[in-house]
């Protein structure tokens, strides 16, 4: 069977995690020529509540389209962390926004100040989802850097391309520093 | 052609336009609303009409009326709306009006859970409207196939003058996957050709399986009713007129199985077990089968794309090939009833999940051990 990578992106409704999932799947399927499925679940609330987006990426055909055992979980809120941190497979990767998520003592995670980086880099905390994508791709290489950049720019509303490019870059930089340290 | 990432619901709307659909009437309902959204945006660009109706009863009536007026038509809904459409669905069967009804199944009964997935309307698609009647229901397993089967739904609907139900589910409807859209001008479209002049035209002639349908407003006039009718459409109780109609209409689908019954049968010599599935669950079944085969286990896989009419000869052959058939479904066992009818109850193992979540590969693998 082809190796599949399963990613779960979670946050509060309104943080753009479903869009982040769509962009990641587009990076894989359109720009890297891989197979990808994106599914989502959301509550009836437009904002608040826990919203999650799931992306499965593979070189070959994807059968079951949902995450079975996550290789990567990104949690941008405490509720998302509480709900989905346990769904990371052993040896998998958990990425959290360190300023919004308090980790339980035994939990290992890559802690990044995702919302703060977004605010500092672009002046807008709503670019946190793009920062998160930069960090995710920087850490995992699940899609190529060119692919995620093209996918982010293709989805960025007119006039916000540069802002989104910088947000993505901030995510990459943050994990570079992590590696050096 | 270029690759796009798209939801199943979007692919259904585009498939309809590619197939020549030029009229959409509907009442938005989760998880089908994206079909209406795309139709509202795209239909006017090709000269089509979009109407948001007051409810699903009216939506169904509107698409029937539109097709009588000569436009290929569609509506999309989910369980609660599909229930309301049943009466007029029967009317379309009786009056032999082609139309496509998309049901993106969600968890029921009643308003149930709007964003939760289900395959709970399989039997409703077959028997939801009263009286013995033919019906076609197709169920896609991917975004790409959602496009293809929508085109197929229109063509079968036209060719056999019957409503066709595209019976999909929340998973396929909302899931995004890559799809390569064809050039719409190359998509096969079935068109009725009426050669008979208006004076002698019989809209319900029993001399062929499916008499060609003339659109209103083009010189042809005839009567349309939900009552049993004669060859020109007027109500009749004469057995010599009713019986030929019954015979023709109730056998027009079964006389053309090769055209209508779509499925994939993937046999491995020596297999003693088979998995039969459809819709989103077919993806899970494939996942489980690949795992089993990777371990060297032999297993047959049957994927039904046409649920109604039930492909019973093919399932009979499947039953003959193995000792046991596993039928996973996101319901409490509906298509399994048909498999049991054909294969015998003792040969069938059901795997059911009816809480809004997908069946998992592990649930199917566990059933192998049972």
Residue B3 contacts A, CB cutoff 8 Å: yes
* Same domain for B135 and B49: yes
Task: Check: CB of residue B125 under 8 Å from CB of residue B307.
Answer: yes
For B62-95, the DSSP string reads HHHHHHHTT-EEEEEE-HHHHHHHHHHHHHHHHH
- Identify the residue among A65, A69, A89 best suited for mutation to test binding to B, counting B beta carbons within 10 A and taking the highest: A65
Q: In what order do the strands lie in the sheet with B300-304?
A: B263-266, B300-304, B273-277, B324-329, B348-352
The CATH number of residue B94's host domain is 3.40.50.970
Q: What is the tens place of the pLDDT at every residue in A75-101?
A: 999 999 999 999 999 999 999 999 999
B295 token code pair:
């371990």
Residue A94, pLDDT score? 97
B133 token code pair:
């009647």
* Same domain for B289 and B171: no
Q: In what order do the strands lie in the sheet with A110-112?
A: A110-112, A88-97, A70-75, A4-13, A48-58, A35-41, B176-180, B3-7
Task: Check: CB of residue B72 under 8 Å from CB of residue B23.
Answer: yes
Q: What is the tens place of the pLDDT at every residue in A99-137?
A: 999 999 999 999 999 999 999 999 999 999 999 999 999
Helical residues (DSSP H) of B69-205, grouped into ranges: 79-95, 122-127, 143-160, 170-174
Our measurement of the distance from residue A180's CA atom to the centroid of its chain's CA atoms, rounded to an integer in Å, reads 22
Cβ-based contacts of B286 with chain A (< 8 Å): 63-64
A53 token code pair:
């987006």
Decide: residue B200, CB within 10 A, 0-12 exposed, 13-18 middle, 19+ buried: exposed
Angle (CA) B95-B96-B97 rounded to 5° is 95
Among A6, A3, A41, A65, residue whose Cα is nearest residue B141: A65
Among B190, B184, B102, B106, residue whose Cα is nearest residue B140: B102
- Residue range of the domain that includes A99: 4-180
Residue A47, pLDDT score? 55
The A residues from 53 to 112 touching B (CB cutoff 8 Å) are 62-66, 68
Q: What confidence tier does A2 reach under pLDDT thresholds 50, 70, 90?
A: confident
Q: Of B166, B186, B206, which marks where a domain is finished? A: B186
Q: What is the tens place of the pLDDT at every residue in B278-319?
A: 999 999 999 999 999 999 999 999 999 999 999 999 999 999
Is B360 in contact with A39 (Cβ distance < 8 A)?
no
Is B286 in contact with A63 (Cβ distance < 8 A)?
yes
pLDDT at A63 over 80: yes
Q: Is residue B243 part of a domain?
A: no
Q: Is residue B217 part of a domain?
A: no
Residue B155, pLDDT score? 98
Q: How many beta-carbon pairs below 8 A join chains A and B?
A: 59
The total number of residues shown for chain A amounts to: 181
The residues, ordered by sequence, that sit 6+ positions from B311 with a Cβ below 8 Å of its Cβ are: B257, B261, B262, B263, B304
Residue A3 contacts B, CB cutoff 8 Å: no
* Same domain for B268 and B141: no
How many domains does chain A contain in total?
A: 1
Q: What is the tens place of the pLDDT at every residue in B2-46?
A: 899 999 999 999 999 999 999 999 999 999 999 999 999 999 999
Report the alpha-carbon distance of residue B327 to residue B285 in Å, rounded. 9
pLDDT at A149 over 80: yes
Q: Of B138, B161, B186, which marks where a domain is finished? A: B186
- Residue range of the domain that includes B52: 3-186
Give the closest of B5, B171, B360 to A29, CB-based. B5
Report the alpha-carbon distance of residue B158 to residue B164 in Å, rounded. 9
Beta-strand relationship, B163-169 and B99-107 = parallel
Q: Of B155, B186, B217, which marks where a domain is finished? A: B186
Q: How far is A83 from chain B (nearest CA, A)?
A: 16
Give the closest of B5, B294, B361 to A68, CB-based. B361
Q: Is residue B70 part of a domain?
A: yes
Report the alpha-carbon distance of residue B362 to residue A10 in Å, rounded. 24
The CATH number of residue A152's host domain is 3.40.920.10
Report the alpha-carbon distance of residue A114 to residue A52 in Å, rounded. 17
Among B280, B317, B283, B279, residue whose Cα is nearest residue B300: B317
Q: Is residue B194 part of a domain?
A: no
Is A38 in contact with B176 (Cβ distance < 8 A)?
yes
Q: Which residue of B has its CA nearest to A44?
A: B115
Task: Check: CB of residue B328 under 8 Å from CB of residue B361.
Answer: no
Residue A13, pLDDT score? 82
Mean pLDDT of the residues in chain B: 97
How many domains does chain B contain in total?
A: 2
Is B358 in contact with A66 (Cβ distance < 8 A)?
yes
3-state secondary structure of B336: helix
Residue B158, pLDDT score? 98
Rg (CA), chain A: 15
Q: What is the tens place of the pLDDT at every residue in B181-224?
A: 999 999 999 999 999 999 999 999 999 999 999 999 899 999 99
Is A1 in contact with B294 (Cβ distance < 8 A)?
yes
* Same domain for B148 and B15: yes
The B residues from 280 to 299 touching A (CB cutoff 8 Å) are 280, 283-284, 286-287, 290-291, 294
Task: Check: CB of residue B216 under 8 Å from CB of residue B70.
Answer: yes
Cβ-based contacts of A36 with chain B (< 8 Å): 5, 177-178
Residue B4 contacts A, CB cutoff 8 Å: yes
Q: How far is B302 from chain A (nearest CA, A)?
A: 15
Cβ-based contacts of B33 with chain A (< 8 Å): none
Is B283 in contact with A30 (Cβ distance < 8 A)?
no
* Same domain for B95 and B11: yes
């Amino acid at each position: 069977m082809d190796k599949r990578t399963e990613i779960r992106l979670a946050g509060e409704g309104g943080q753009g995690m479903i869009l982040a999932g769509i962009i990641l799947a587009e990076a894989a399927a359109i720009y890297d020529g891989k197979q990808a499925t994106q599914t989502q679940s959301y509550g009836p609330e437009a904002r608040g509540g826990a919203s999650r987006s799931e992306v499965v990426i593979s070189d070959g055909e994807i059968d079951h389209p949902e995450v079975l055992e996550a290789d990567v979980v990104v949690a941008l809120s405490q509720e998302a962390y509480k709900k989905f941190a346990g769904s990371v497979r052993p040896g998998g990767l958990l990425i959290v926004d360190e300023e919004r998520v308090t980790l339980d003592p035994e939990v290992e995670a890559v802690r990044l100040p995702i919302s703060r980086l977004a605010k500092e880099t672009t002046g807008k905390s709503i670019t946190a989802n793009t920062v998160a994508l930069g960090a995710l791709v920087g850490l995992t290489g699940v899609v190529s850097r060119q692919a995620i950049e093209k996918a982010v720019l293709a989805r960025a509303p007119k006039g916000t391309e540069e802002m989104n490019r910088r947000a993505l870059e901030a995510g990459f930089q943050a994990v570079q520093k992590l590696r050096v340290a | 052609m270029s690759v796009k990432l798209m939801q199943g619901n979007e692919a259904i709307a585009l498939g309809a336009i590619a197939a020549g659909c030029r009229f959409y009437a509907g009442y938005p309902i989760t998880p089908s609303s994206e079909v209406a959204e795309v139709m509202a945006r795209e239909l006017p660009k090709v000269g089509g009409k979009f109407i948001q109706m007051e409810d699903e009863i009216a939506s169904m009536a509107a698409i029937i009326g539109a097709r009588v007026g000569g436009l290929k038509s569609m509506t999309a809904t989910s369980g609660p709306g599909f229930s309301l459409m049943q009466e007029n669905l029967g009317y379309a069967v009786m009056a032999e009006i082609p139309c496509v009804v998309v049901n993106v199944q969600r968890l029921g009964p009643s308003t149930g859970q709007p964003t939760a997935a289900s395959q709970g309307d399989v039997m409703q698609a077959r028997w939801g409207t009263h009286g013995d009647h033919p019906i076609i229901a197709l169920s896609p397993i991917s975004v790409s196939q959602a496009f293809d089967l929508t085109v197929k739904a229109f063509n079968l609907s036209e060719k056999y003058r019957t409503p066709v139900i595209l019976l999909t589910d929340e998973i396929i409807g909302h899931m995004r996957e890559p799809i390569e859209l064809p050039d719409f001008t190359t998509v096969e479209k079935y068109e009725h050709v009426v050669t008979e002049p208006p004076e002698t035209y019989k809209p319900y002639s029993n001399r062929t399986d499916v008499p060609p349908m003339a659109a209103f407003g083009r010189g042809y006039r005839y009567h349309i009713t939900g009552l049993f009718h004669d060859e020109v459409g007027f109500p009749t109780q004469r057995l010599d007129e009713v019986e030929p109609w019954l015979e023709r209409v109730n056998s027009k689908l079964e006389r053309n199985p090769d055209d209508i019954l779509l499925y994939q049968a993937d046999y491995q010599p020596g297999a003693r077990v088979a998995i039969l599935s459809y819709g989103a669950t077919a993806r899970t079944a494939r996942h489980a089968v690949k795992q089993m085969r990777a371990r060297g286990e032999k297993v047959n896989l049957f994927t039904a794309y046409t649920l109604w009419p039930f492909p019973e000869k093919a399932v009979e052959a499947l039953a003959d090939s193995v000792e046991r058939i596993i039928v996973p479904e996101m319901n409490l066992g509906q298509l399994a009833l048909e498999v049991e009818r054909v294969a015998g109850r003792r040969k069938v193992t059901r795997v059911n999940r009816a809480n809004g979540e997908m069946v998992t590969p592990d649930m199917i693998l566990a059933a192998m051990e049972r």
